Amino acid sequence: MLESPQSERRQVTLELAVAALLCEIMRADYEHDPRERAMLRELLTTRLTIAPGDVDELMSLAETEVEQAVDHYEFVSLIREQYDYEDRVALVAQMWQLAFADGELDALEEHRVRRLADLLYVSHSDFIRTKLEVMPES
């Protein structure tokens, strides 16, 4: 009997779920900026308790998961189960850091952060507050 593609996929861990949502922000504007990849690497290294050498593997796996995912339910639901509200707000702040990493905020990136913040049950006021906190000064 053949296994379905779903059963062949790797078990989604909290680390993979976080990395996948951050990758979603990085790819929102359809541009591949090395500053965003560097920021993603930095955010994953500081947020997650994984060895620095494992970060590249996690990033690659997360990018593959995001490309194959139909929606974000699997990632978002795991994060909502495992993270308290303050951790989810901190994750949204990191999404903003990633969105601003290339020096500009694309409307597609902003839309994606808003959508993911809503799915993570982060209030609109915290969504705005975290944006203002990490927004580069002009």
Average pLDDT of 122-137?
94
- Predicted local distance difference test score (pLDDT) of residue 9: 47
pLDDT digits (tens, 9 = 90+) for 37-54: 999 998 998 888 788 788
Which residue type, as a one-letter code, is found at position 60? S
Cα→Cα distances 12→6, 48, 100, Å: 11, 15, 27
Q: How many residues does the chain have?
A: 138
Sign of CA dihedral 65, 59, 88, 133: negative
**CA atoms within 13 A of residue 100's CA, in its CB half-sphere:** 15
Mean pLDDT of the chain: 87
Average pLDDT of 50-79?
88
- The CATH number for 13-134, chosen from 3.20.20.10, 1.10.3680.10, 2.60.40.10, 1.20.1600.10, is 1.10.3680.10
What percentage of the chain exceeds 70 in pLDDT?
92
Q: How confident is the model at residue 89 (pLDDT cuts 50, 70, 90)?
A: very high
Q: Say how far apart CA 16 and CA 98 lie, in whole Å.
A: 17
Mean pLDDT lowest among 15-19, 66-70, 125-129: 66-70
For residue 26, the tally of other CB atoms under 10 A from its CB is: 26
Q: How confident is the model at residue 75 (pLDDT cuts 50, 70, 90)?
A: very high
Quick check: 123 pLDDT over 60?
Answer: yes
Structure letter (DSSP) for residue 1? -
